[in-house]
Amino acid sequence: MVQLALSIVIGYLLGSISFSYIYGKLAKGIDIRSHGSGNAGATNTLRVLGVGPAIAVLLLDAAKGVAAVLIGGALGGDQEWAPVLAGIGAVVGHNWPIFFQFKGGKGIATTVGVAATLCFLPTLIAGIVAILCIAVTRYVSLGSLVLTGLLPILLVAMGRPSELIIASLVIAVFAYIRHRTNIVKLIKGKENKLGSKKDGAPTHATK
């Protein structure tokens, strides 16, 4: 039980490191959450700060998910739930970071890092479908919802362990909660498409 609790805490603290916020502050002197969509994640970093920073944030957010799972696995030994709970903790930390007033991102990049480490093939398949969805529609939010919604289905179909299925369902619920505004906009046809400047970059940012 101690290892499980420690795995969750470490995962959460890792997830709470907001690379989007940190980059915005260090490079531009802005709070990324006060610009664009108000989300501290890779997509809003793309809109506000550009391609390079967005790629860096995407990779770092995914990497903290990977790290959380690996650390959880090392701490838990033969306890199968340890890496899973550490991964969930990382996603929760990204979404509601203790270091940044519990105002974070939507957890998709971190989810990819966690899921790819726990179950690579199902994540790869879900990721390809999500990328194709984004390529066709240019809606990143729709691709994110497809990714997290499809993953539990694939895990069940491929006969993966119950702890992975349960974790994927929990993470999917988190994703849909965090994307609830996007879901409404998608239904109304008002969601911003990839490459749209509607949310725009900050006009008065200082270095």
For the segment 153-197, what is each residue's pLDDT rounded down to a tens digit? 999 999 999 999 999 999 999 999 999 999 999 999 999 888 765
Q: Give tens-digit pLDDT for 89-142.
A: 999 999 999 999 999 999 999 999 999 999 999 999 999 999 999 999 999 999
CA pseudo-torsion sign 46, 49, 51, 55: negative
Task: Report if pTM > 0.75.
Answer: yes
Average pLDDT over residues 197-207: 44
**Angle 108-118/51-76 helices, nearest 10 degrees?**
40
Percentage of the chain surpassing pLDDT 70? 94
CB 10 within 8 A of CB 89: yes
pLDDT at 197 (0 to 100): 56
Instruction: Round the average pLDDT of the chain to a whole number and report it.
Output: 91
Paired tokens of 7: 């795995």
**Which of 11, 27, 156 has the alpha carbon at shortest distance from 70?**
11
Banded pLDDT at 3 (limits 50, 70, 90): confident
